[in-house]
Amino acid sequence: MARPLVAIVGRPNVGKSALFNRIIRTRASIVDDMPGITRDRLYAQAEWCGRAFTLIDTGGIEACPDDSIAAQARRQAQMAIEQADTVLFVVDARTGITSEDDDVADILRKSGKPVIVVASKVDDPSHMDYGLYSLGLGELLPTSAVHGTGIGDLLDAVVRSFPDDEGQPEQDEDAIRVAVIGRPNVGKSSLVNRILGEERSIVSEVPGTTRDAVDAICEFEGNRYIIVDTAGIRRRGRVDVGIEKYSVLRALGAVERCDVAITVVDGTEEPSAQDTKIAGYAHEAGKAAVVAVNKWDIVERDDTTARDFEQKLRSLLSFMPYAPIVFVSALTGRRIGNLLGAVKSSSAQHRKRVQTAMVNRVVQDAVLRNPPPPDHGREIRMYYATQVSAGPPRFVVWVNRPECVHFSYKRYLENALRDAFGFSGTPIRVLLRQRD
């Protein structure tokens, strides 16, 4: 059975994300004194007393949202409440009950879900406002996310709220972890929503709407994927200090943790140097890669448009010719299945292992066809080759004088391995080692 879902909700700036980070014991959610930092639903796995559960951080619920993003944040929180088995309603013990707290309380009463009221920011018993009991939603627990006070009692209450027959959590070891990266406003969140079949990430024409790296799990044709929506990555000189900079760091962190990185490119614009740089993050990190050209449904095209666009992309991404390019539409869902198929194939190639005898045969044949040029009259000999790891595939070739092998010859060996074994969608590494 699936893990129980526990949603953290409340009005803006009451300490929801700080509580989320304290429970999962890492800074997965951005915390700032400015209200409205969290917008999308952010999921993470947690465990207490041997019981595993999924924790959901949400954006602040405003009674009268004054813009579309705040309205979507409210809808995201309501969707989290609908999904949750238990709801943690966070209120600020220092400020007491507000009209927005009353609005959230009304939503929770109508939901019929088990609710635990969490009085946050109780760093000292004198900070507690006992008027919070007037919310009438049952148990009230004082906590301090900063100091960890009351967190154990809170988690005890959370675990008690789970059904006794709740099964063990599903394992995600075989899931393919996918990071969706790209410049701001290229349609990353729309693409994630289309893949998931729900409004999981907030979508707006305003660049920079996504801030956290937002995880979601989905299944497609029997395969399990963990999709990570990330903040748009602008040129370094244009990244504002503060929240945006932290969001970009989160996006780069998502690349480090993923198996496959989907670089989303806007099909209505010319490919840019920033697209190249963003794709390069995945290449340098050794991740499998797929390039998704989004918004292709609104591009005026003829028989050569896609081919010409792909040629321009290939020219810019000459350092990663292995990456498949898929033209998609997040709006209509066109070729989303092809995109996930490319992700699955790239992930399999990323984890691929080849027997040592086969690797040796390919390298020896390549050396016989084209021996490495001698260095100042001294012969360069290649003795033995093997694959030492996967994810990405790494090969070691033992050589008598590795420092004298030109980088172009390493590329020649890499191409020989690709011709023999494929490795479409993943970088491979060829390392030269001195044989004693």
pLDDT tens-digit readout, 259-291: 999 999 999 999 999 999 999 999 998 999 999
- Whole-angstrom distance, CA of residue 310 vs CA of residue 221: 28
Lowest mean pLDDT among 17-31, 49-63, 243-257: 243-257
378-408 tens-digit pLDDT = 888 999 999 999 999 999 999 998 888 888 9
Q: What is the largest CA-CA distance in the chain?
A: 89
106-159 tens-digit pLDDT = 888 888 888 999 988 887 766 666 677 777 776 788 888 888 888 999 999 999
For 239, other C-beta atoms within 10 Å of its C-beta total 18
Return the SS3 of 404.
Answer: helix
58-79 tens-digit pLDDT = 877 876 665 555 676 677 777 7
- Whole-angstrom distance, CA of residue 16 vs CA of residue 5: 16
pTM here is 0.62
Start-end of CATH 3.30.300.20 domains in the chain: 356-434
> Does the structural domain 5-160 have CATH classification 3.40.50.720?
no
Give the count of alpha carbons within 13 A of 389, CB side only: 8
Give the domain 176-350 fold: Rossmann fold (3.40.50)
Start-end of CATH 3.40.50.300 domains in the chain: 5-160, 176-350
pLDDT in the model for residue 410: 92
| CATH class for the region spanning 356-434 | alpha beta
pLDDT above 80 (res 233): yes
Is it true that the peptide bond before 163 is cis, omega within 30 degrees of 0? no
Tokens 């729900």 appear where? 198
Q: Strand 325-327 relative to strand 382-389: parallel, antiparallel, unpaired?
A: unpaired
3-state secondary structure 137-187: CCCEEECECCCCECHHHHHHHHHHCCCCCCCCCCCCCCCEEEEEEECCCCC
